């Protein structure tokens, strides 16, 4: 089959080239390439890494005459405009659940990296200074989880073992969810400001869509505890960039850590990422050997299903 791979990740490309070796695979990394190739594609495999919201839009679908499936390499297929896909009758599938542990573990890493001031500690090593910087313990602190899906739930359960108090807001929480998870409070998004005011650490684990763009803006950052930490495990545009920069430069925030930028790959010289209390990782939340290989196997299964005329797994449209 003629398959396009929309990806800027060498690891994703490598694992799929191995898994789909018997197919004709074309790597696509920008809109011009996609417009040039999409007319002949039978399957398009997408990755959100480095591509904006709804990158695969009406302009693409109007040329996709042979497209039988858009298969997202991961969970949040925000790179695809799902409403337009549905309008054109192109099925879209994802691979749910396989990255849950990996992203939750990265969240724990970033919590500790902020608490122990990892960026400054590395600088102290370079300067041959001992016993600096002074960090803080996470035990006894409050973690606010914004978005209690698979990843948010996995993170909440793990930090309980670190002695943290956990609060959460999420869409449509089921009755008794907090008790079932053993965490203190689960509320609807209307309680976001209350959660921010009570939390020492706030972690964003919700999807990017038209509703969540700019979710954390001036009002939300002002509501956070002075010196609190903000961690983004989702997508850059969830946060108002200028409001965040002001909160960092004013000292309102104790620090910021993110696995995604507003534009990717991120510019390391960006004025936000040069702040001493900011930690940036290069969109590696789901980049573990286990996740890459397992996800590639599901992609292969859906490619085989399309070739056999069968319905793909994990349909979104």
Q: pLDDT tens digit string along 266-299?
A: 999 999 999 999 999 999 999 999 999 999 999 9
Number of folded domains that form the chain:
2
Residues 272 and 137 in one domain: yes
Identify the pLDDT of residue 175: 87
In a domain, 197, yes or no: yes
In a domain, 63, yes or no: yes
Q: 38-42 — which CB contacts under 8 Å span 24+ positions?
A: 38/4, 38/63, 38/64, 38/67, 39/63, 39/64, 39/65, 39/66, 40/2, 40/66, 41/2, 41/3, 41/4, 41/66, 41/67, 42/1, 42/2, 42/3, 42/66, 42/67, 42/68, 42/69, 42/306
CA distance 233 to 208: 11
Residues 193 and 169 in one domain: yes
Residues 131 and 249 in one domain: yes
Give tens-digit pLDDT for 141-154.
Answer: 999 999 999 999 99
In a domain, 315, yes or no: no
Q: What's the CATH number where 114 sits? A: 3.40.50.720
Residues 270 and 122 in one domain: yes
In a domain, 13, yes or no: yes
Identify the pLDDT of residue 5: 98
Could you confirm whether 264 is annotated as catalytic?
yes
In a domain, 108, yes or no: yes
Q: Quick count: other Cβ atoms within 10 Å of Cβ 122?
A: 10
pLDDT less than 50: residues of the chain: none
In a domain, 317, yes or no: no
In a domain, 313, yes or no: no
CA distance 187 to 170: 6
Residues 114 and 184 in one domain: yes
- Size of the chain, expressed as the number of residues it contains: 317
Identify the pLDDT of residue 185: 87
Residues 253 and 145 in one domain: yes
Sign (positive/negative) of CA torsion 178, 156, 261, 217? positive
In a domain, 252, yes or no: yes
Choose the catalytic residue: 105, 184, 264, 301: 264
Choose the catalytic residue: 72, 117, 225, 235: 235
Could you confirm whether 235 is annotated as catalytic?
yes
Residues 37 and 146 in one domain: no
Residues 265 and 117 in one domain: yes
Residues 77 and 136 in one domain: no
CA distance 34 to 151: 31
Could you confirm whether 66 is annotated as catalytic?
no
Q: What's the angle, vertex CA 40, arms to CA 35 and CA 44, rounded to 5?
A: 70
Residues 195 and 262 in one domain: yes
Q: Please state the pTM of the whole predicted model.
A: 0.94
Identify the pLDDT of residue 11: 97
Host domain of residue 16 = 2-96+288-307
Residues 109 and 245 in one domain: yes
Residues 168 and 272 in one domain: yes
Are 197 and 185 in contact by the 8 Å Cβ rule? The answer is no
Are 73 and 7 in contact by the 8 Å Cβ rule? The answer is yes
3-class secondary structure per residue, the chain: CEEEEECCCHHHHHHHHHHCCCCEEEEECCHHHHHHHHHHCCEEEECCCCCCCCCECHHHHCCCCCCCEEEECCCCCCCECHHHHHHHCCCEECCCCCCHHHHHHHHHHHHHHHHCCHHHHHHHHHCCCCCCCCCCCCCCCEEEEECCCHHHHHHHHHHHCCCCEEEEECCCCCCCHHHHHCCCEEECHHHHHHHHHHCCEEEECCCCCCCCCCCECHHHHHHCCCCEEEEECCCHHHECHHHHHHHHHCCCEEEEEECCCCCCCCCCCCCCCCCCCEEECCCCCCCCHHHHHHHHHHHHHHHHHHHCCCCCCCECC
């Amino acid at each position: 089959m003629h398959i396009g791979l929309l990806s800027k990740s060498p690891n994703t490309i490598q694992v799929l080239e191995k898994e789909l070796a018997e197919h004709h695979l074309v790597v696509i990394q920008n809109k011009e390439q996609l417009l040039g190739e999409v007319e002949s594609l039978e399957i398009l495999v997408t990755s959100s890494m480095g591509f904006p919201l709804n990158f695969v839009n009406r302009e693409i679908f109007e040329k996709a005459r042979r497209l039988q499936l858009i298969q997202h390499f991961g969970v949040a297929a925000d790179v695809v405009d799902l409403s337009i896909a549905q309008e054109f009758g192109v099925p879209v599938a994802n691979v749910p659940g396989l990255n849950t542990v990996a992203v939750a573990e990265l969240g724990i890493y970033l919590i500790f990296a902020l608490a122990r001031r990892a960026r400054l500690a590395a600088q102290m090593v370079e300067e041959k200074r001992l016993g600096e910087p002074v960090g803080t313990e996470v035990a006894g602190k409050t973690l606010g989880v914004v978005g209690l899906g698979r990843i948010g739930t996995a993170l909440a359960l793990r930090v309980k073992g670190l002695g943290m108090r956990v609060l959460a807001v999420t869409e449509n929480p089921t009755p008794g969810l907090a008790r079932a998870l053993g965490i203190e409070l689960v509320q609807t998004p209307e309680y976001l400001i209350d959660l921010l005011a009570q939390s020492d650490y706030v972690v964003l684990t919700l999807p990017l869509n038209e509703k969540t763009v700019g979710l954390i803006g001036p009002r939300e950052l002002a509501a956070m505890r002075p010196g609190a930490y903000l961690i983004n495990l989702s997508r850059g545009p969830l946060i108002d960039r200028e409001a965040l920069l002001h909160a960092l430069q004013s000292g309102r925030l104790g620090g910021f850590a993110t696995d995604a930028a507003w534009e990717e790959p991120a510019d390391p010289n960006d004025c936000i990422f040069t702040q001493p209390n900011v930690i940036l990782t290069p969109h590696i939340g789901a980049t573990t050997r286990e996740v890459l290989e397992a996800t590639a196997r599901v992609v292969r299964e859906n490619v085989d299903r399309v070739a056999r005329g069968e319905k793909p797994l994990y349909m979104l449209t």
